[in-house]
Amino acid sequence: MNNSKGATGALHPASAAILVTGGAGFIGSNFIRYVFNKTDFAGTIVNYDKLTYAGNLSNLADIEKKFHNTGYVFERGDIRDYAKVEELIRKYGITIIVHFAAESHVDRSIFGPKEFVETNINGTFSLLEAARQLWAERSDVRFHHISTDEVYGSLGDSGYFFENTPYDPRSPYSASKAASDHLVRAYYHTYGLPVTLSNCSNNYGPYHFPEKLIPLIILNAVEGKPLPVYGDGRNVRDWLYVEDHADAIWQILLKGRAGETYNIGGECERENIEVVNAICDILEELRPPKDNTLIRKQSPAVGRYRELITFVGDRPGHDRRYAVNCDKIKKELGWSHRHNFEEGLRHTIEWYLRNTAWIEQIKSGEYTKWIEKNYTNYKKLKNEGQG
Ligand code: NAD
Ligand code: TDX
């Protein structure tokens, strides 16, 4: 590392002013909730979010109510807006940046990669520039970059992703995340900016936007709609309950070493079809089809949720298997996941069954149009014989 500036100053995350980008999204909002409710945090969090289709202020309505002006502030804006970010850094005395903001859905990146390049690459670059300016002025700075296991590519039946696994991204989404990771590391080596990175596996839990597999399947099943499974349904993902991810990020802020990357995973590999079956089985218990008026209306012949499963075409470039080795964060920082998949999934399904107003609000946005466009395409791919 060429750290011309010298040593970093002591960080005090628990009392710092932290700029969280993308805090109105799924993981960002769960992170903010976790920090306020489950740690000894007594500083300020500035949630900076553009509020794209995926950003939703009601994800943090409880935090806004409890901590507004006593530690929590929302500021709307784009991470590409360097002047605005600089202004906020000064206004709030920010020393730590925790960077979640991104375009995050692989299927959307297939339809429209431009937004992914602009936000994930150019946006991260702009934020890094603002952090570099701050680093020129003080030594107690940290830039934590949230990334994904998808940058490592696709595994066969065996093996794991380690922190030093070569990058091999295969979708416009993962390629844009890989590019942003490279920029973050370049700022460490070139300018000495104290960065940390984490590459995490698939998250699930409350407030997950229902374009992603788990919430989409829950919502469709409850409404008696087809449950679309791409290809043969045997692609494997490594699932982590979102609160465990939030805890891992907090541990990295507290104890992580500058310049280091930490892999985070759930050590919970499941084929997609297993996940979909598990959701169906839990719903059988929580909302039996015979008592579900929407099923009676939409698919009266259906006796069991599993009958709704529909194999569609395959995602172009669909990565076969992800599996993360997270020994480093376990050994160095003492983190490990606390929720097992079966409990976490049940809790998540219960949350979606309870939070109908949140779901209705999402469905009133551009969501329905997206679902129509995406699944019309997958039907077409199926008809063309792919999958
Ligand atoms: P999300 O799509 O739910 O939320 C993204 C948030 O970023 C939204 O609130 C959106 O409004 C905001 N945003 C988008 N573009 C912006 C811009 N230009 N300026 C400011 N804000 C902007 O995403 P998520 O699932 O919460 O993912 C958060 C981060 O974690 C991403 O960086 C993603 O790559 C990474 N990640 C996600 C997962 C997962 O399973 N969801 C796993 C590993 C890593
Ligand atoms: O309708 C579907 N049917 C289906 O079979 C959807 C939406 C997905 N799938 C499959 C594709 C994947 O193999 O399920 C798996 C999970 O898909 P997604 O929920 O779209 O997640 P994934 O593509 O694995 O990426 C997620 O995890 C890594 C997040 O969206 C990324 O932001 C994160 O980096």
- Please say whether the beta carbons of 106 and 177 come within 8 A: no
Answer whether 230 contacts ligand 2 (Cβ < 6 A): yes
What integer pLDDT is reported at residue 6 of this predicted model?
Answer: 66
Query: Could you identify the atom of ligand 2 that is nearest to the CA of residue 275?
Result: 14
**Residue recorded with tokens 């983190």:** 335
- Please say whether the beta carbons of 125 and 155 come within 8 A: no
Distance CA 70, CA 65 (A): 10
- Please say whether the beta carbons of 60 and 29 come within 8 A: yes
What integer pLDDT is reported at residue 8 of this predicted model?
Answer: 80
Residue 149 annotated in active site: yes
Tokens of 183: 């920029």
Backbone dihedral region of 358: left (phi > 0), alpha (psi from -120 to 50 degrees) or beta? alpha
Among candidate residues 253, 77, 252, 101, the one with its CA nearest the CA of residue 176: 101
Among candidate residues 352, 53, 3, the one with its CA nearest the CA of residue 204: 352
Mutate to test the pocket of ligand 2, among 53, 207, 209, 213 (most ligand atoms within 8 A of CB): 213
- Compute the distance from residue 253 Cα to the ligand 1 centre, in Å: 19
What integer pLDDT is reported at residue 387 of this predicted model?
Answer: 62
Answer whether 119 contacts ligand 2 (Cβ < 6 A): no
Is the per-residue pLDDT at 383 higher than 70?
yes
Answer whether 216 contacts ligand 2 (Cβ < 6 A): yes
Query: Could you identify the atom of ligand 2 that is nearest to the CA of residue 102?
Result: 32
Is the per-residue pLDDT at 4 higher than 90?
no
What integer pLDDT is reported at residue 69 of this predicted model?
Answer: 84
Mutate to test the pocket of ligand 2, among 106, 108, 110 (most ligand atoms within 8 A of CB): 106
Catalytic residue (one of 48, 72, 173, 204): 173
Answer whether 49 contacts ligand 1 (Cβ < 6 A): yes
Give 201-251 pLDDT, tens digit per residue.
999 999 999 999 999 999 999 999 999 999 999 999 999 999 999 999 999
Answer whether 116 contacts ligand 1 (Cβ < 6 A): no
Is the per-residue pLDDT at 17 higher than 70?
yes
- Compute the distance from residue 290 Cα to the ligand 2 centre, in Å: 30
- Compute the distance from residue 303 Cα to the ligand 1 centre, in Å: 37
- Compute the distance from residue 235 Cα to the ligand 2 centre, in Å: 10
Query: Could you identify the atom of ligand 2 that is nearest to the CA of residue 233?
Result: 5
> Residue 9: pLDDT band by 50, 70, 90 thresholds?
confident
Catalytic residue (one of 103, 149, 163, 243): 149
Atom 42 of ligand 1: nearest residue by CA position: 202
Answer whether 106 contacts ligand 2 (Cβ < 6 A): yes
Mean pLDDT of the chain: 96
Atom 3 of ligand 2: nearest residue by CA position: 229
Distance CA 236, CA 159 (A): 13
- Average the pLDDT over 129-157 and give the result: 97
Give 335-351 pLDDT, tens digit per residue.
999 999 999 999 999 99
Q: What is the DSSP letter of 71?
A: T
Considering the chain, what percentage of its residues have pLDDT values greater than 90? 94
pTM value is 0.98
Is the per-residue pLDDT at 2 higher than 70?
no
| Cβ contacts of 188 within 8 Å, gap of 6 or more | 1, 194, 195, 258, 259
Residue 173 annotated in active site: yes
Give 42-92 pLDDT, tens digit per residue.
999 999 999 999 999 999 999 999 999 899 999 999 999 999 999 999 999
Query: Could you identify the atom of ligand 2 that is nearest to the CA of residue 174?
Result: 34
Is the per-residue pLDDT at 355 higher than 80?
yes
Atom 35 of ligand 1: nearest residue by CA position: 147
> Residue 365: pLDDT band by 50, 70, 90 thresholds?
confident
Count other Cβ atoms within 10 Å, centred on residue 277.
Answer: 19
Answer whether 150 contacts ligand 2 (Cβ < 6 A): yes
- Compute the distance from residue 25 Cα to the ligand 1 centre, in Å: 6
Strand locations in the chain, DSSP E? Answer: 17-21, 44-49, 72-76, 96-99, 142-148, 195-200, 202-204, 227-230, 236-241, 261-264, 269-271, 309-312
Answer whether 109 contacts ligand 1 (Cβ < 6 A): no
CATH topology of domain 13-209+239-269: Rossmann fold (3.40.50)
